[in-house]
């Protein structure tokens, strides 16, 4: 029996893996009929929620108490941006749990129903891409987590009597309370990182599956050229009676399957946009604030390269890579849609029966208007947005610089 308490829990296909990590981080309901495990997991989930939320509150309180210190202001803005983004993204995804489960179940069911070997290969290739993204995410995260947890041992400052992974006010406690708080914060960091990685891994998993569905439709439309030439050759040699009907039936079957799959892709994209519209907006606000304040802290108030600076640089690197993947996936979706329009148009769609012709013309028009995943309702997820994000971060840093000089 698979449970979340043993390693069998993680033996699944890459598309499912990110969902299970999200459950482990305490941000997703555990589906089990075992009441004991459900109670234990509910307590663990509550502690993760409470630890993440309470650290946001303590950071805001510390920022208010130390608002006249510009160095601490810059550093605490980073932590508030990180903490708020993680908590809000987790809650926003949980708020859309019905849509997420619907999209996940539909994609899983579609994979199980495909019997064509080439379709199965394309879906397996998407799994390998998802696995590569997951491995990259977690490989980049290990040094970041180590820097956060090892902070008390490596960076002792005169400003704090007992430094924590996340600095909070009123740290003059006994060793026992300190150890408890250290474990408490380490649990929060564990939940933070699993949330960041799993939420963005789920995003990439959905996109890779939608791209795989696009590839299947594109390849099937391109295969119609071979069937058309085979039909013409049979007609040329006079074998029209049997093989012509066979080819026509195959063509109609392929076109019908492609029309159904294209409708499913549109349905998946609509659900996907609904899930990630506000979530991506929170992510981009957090990364903009993080980049600006880290550069502000490192350039303007540079006092040596310490563990605290390393923490923020590593996290900023993860967020930049993460944001790049967001924008790259959005651009690839648009390119695949345009590629589908070209593939359909090259199949002599205008020679088909009126009913099929209407469906194919709809696919062409819908695909030429490339699907865009919007950040809130302001920007589209594409590579130009990534460049704009860096420019906005630079403008915020320049504004901070003018305020201090």
Give me the chain's average pLDDT, please. Answer: 69
Q: Contacts from 148-157 at CB under 8 Å and sequence distance 24+?
A: 148/189, 148/311, 149/186, 149/189, 150/307, 151/307, 151/308, 151/311, 152/182, 154/307, 155/306, 155/307, 155/308
3-state DSSP assignment of residue 160: coil
Structure tokens at 322: 């993460």
Which one is predicted more confidently, 140 or 149?
Answer: 140
pLDDT score at 36: 60
* Residues 264/102, Cβ–Cβ less than 8 Å: no
Under a CB-based contact definition with an 8 Å cutoff, are residues 97 and 103 in contact? no
For position 246, what pLDDT does the model report?
A: 44
Give me the mean pLDDT over the 325-349 stretch: 81
pLDDT band at 220, cuts 50/70/90? confident
Q: Is 374 helix (H, G, I), strand (E, B) or coil?
A: strand
Residue 226 has pLDDT above 70, yes or no: no
Percent of the chain with pLDDT over 70: 56
Residue 100 confidence class, pLDDT cut points 50, 70, 90:
confident
**pLDDT of residue 21 exceeding 70:** yes
Other CB atoms within a 10 A radius of the CB of residue 293 amount to: 25
Euclidean distance between CA atoms 202 and 272, whole angstroms: 11
Q: What is the DSSP string of 257-270?
A: HHHHHHHHHHHHHH
Q: Helix crossing, 117-149 with 307-345: angle to 10°? A: 170
Assign 233 a pLDDT band (cuts: 50, 70, 90): very low
Tokens of 115: 């019997």
Over range 185-197, report the average pLDDT: 70
Instruction: For residue 367, give the H/E element and its range.
Output: helix 354-368
Most confident of the following: 131-140, 163-172, 310-319: 131-140
* 51 — pLDDT class (breaks 50, 70, 90): low
Whether the Cβ atoms of residue 375 and residue 365 lie closer than 8 Å to each other: no
What pLDDT does residue 79 have? 66
Model pLDDT for residues 369-379, shown as the tens digit of each residue: 777 777 777 77
Question: Can you list the positions of beta strands (E) in 245-394?
Answer: 374-375, 379-380
| pLDDT > 50? residue 234 | no
Per-residue confidence (pLDDT) for residue 331, from 0 to 100: 84
* CB distance 207 to 106 below 8 Å: no
How far apart CA 262 and CA 336 sit, in angstroms, is 12
CA angle 77, 140, 93 (to 5 degrees): 60
Give dist(CA 277, CA 326) in Å, integer. Answer: 12
pLDDT for res 13: 72
Distance CA 82, CA 66 (A): 19
pLDDT at 386 over 70: yes
pLDDT score recorded for residue 243: 42
First to last CA, the chain: 63
The pLDDT, as a whole number, for residue 1 is 40
d(C-alpha 303, C-alpha 299), whole Å: 9
Reported as a pLDDT band with limits 50, 70 and 90, residue 240 is very low
**For residue 177, what pLDDT band results from cuts at 50, 70 and 90?**
low
Q: For residue 56, is pLDDT > 50? A: yes
Residues 243 and 234 sit within 8 Å (Cβ to Cβ): yes
Whether 106 has a pLDDT exceeding 80, the answer reads yes
DSSP letter for 155, please. Answer: -
DSSP 3-state of 111: helix
> Model confidence at 69, in pLDDT bands (50, 70, 90)?
low
- Residue-range domain boundaries for the chain: 7-404
Beta bridge partners of 379: 375
Residue 374: beta bridge partners?
A: 380
Rounded to 5 degrees, what angle do the CA atoms 146, 148, 153 make? 85
CA–CA separation, 110 vs 276, rounded Å?
Answer: 22
């Amino acid at each position: 029996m698979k449970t979340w308490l043993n390693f069998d829990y993680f033996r699944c296909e890459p598309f499912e893996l990110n969902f299970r990590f999200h459950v482990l981080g305490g941000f997703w309901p555990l589906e089990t009929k075992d009441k004991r495990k459900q109670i234990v997991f509910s307590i663990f989930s509550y502690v993760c929620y409470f630890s993440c939320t309470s650290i946001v509150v303590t950071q805001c309180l510390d920022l208010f108490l130390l608002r006249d210190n510009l160095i601490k202001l810059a550093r605490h803005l980073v932590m508030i941006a990180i903490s708020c983004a993680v908590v809000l993204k987790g809650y926003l995804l949980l708020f859309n749990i019905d849509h997420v489960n619907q999209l996940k179940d539909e994609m899983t069911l579609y994979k199980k129903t495909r019997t064509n070997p080439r379709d199965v290969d394309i879906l397996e290739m998407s799994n390998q891409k998802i696995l590569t993204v997951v491995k990259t995410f977690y490989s980049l995260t290990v040094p970041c987590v180590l820097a956060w947890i090892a902070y008390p041992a490596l960076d002792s400052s005169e400003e704090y009597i007992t430094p924590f992974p996340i600095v909070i006010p009123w740290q003059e406690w006994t060793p026992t309370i300190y150890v408890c708080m250290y474990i408490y914060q380490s649990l929060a960091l564990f939940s933070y990182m699993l949330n960041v990685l799993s939420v963005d891994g789920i995003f990439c998993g959905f996109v890779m599956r939608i791209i795989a569905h696009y590839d299947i439709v594109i390849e099937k439309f391109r295969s119609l050229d071979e069937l058309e030439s085979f039909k013409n050759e049979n007609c040329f040699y006079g074998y029209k009676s049997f093989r012509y009907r066979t080819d026509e039936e195959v063509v109609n079957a392929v076109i019908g399957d492609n029309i159904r799959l294209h409708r499913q892709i549109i349905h998946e994209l609509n659900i996907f946009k609904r899930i990630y519209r506000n979530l991506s907006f929170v992510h981009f606000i957090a990364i903009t604030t993080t980049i600006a304040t880290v550069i502000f802290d490192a350039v303007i108030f540079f006092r040596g390269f310490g563990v605290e600076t390393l923490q923020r640089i590593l996290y900023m690197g993860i967020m930049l890579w993460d944001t790049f993947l967001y924008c790259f996936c959005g651009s690839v979706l648009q390119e695949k849609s345009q590629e589908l329009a070209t593939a359909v148009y090259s199949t002599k769609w205008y020679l088909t029966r009126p009913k099929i012709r209407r469906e194919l013309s709809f696919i062409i028009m819908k695909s030429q208007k490339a699907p865009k995943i919007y950040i809130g309702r302001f920007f589209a997820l594409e590579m130009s947005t990534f460049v704009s994000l860096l420019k906005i971060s630079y403008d915020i840093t320049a504004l901070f610089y003018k305020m201090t000089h």
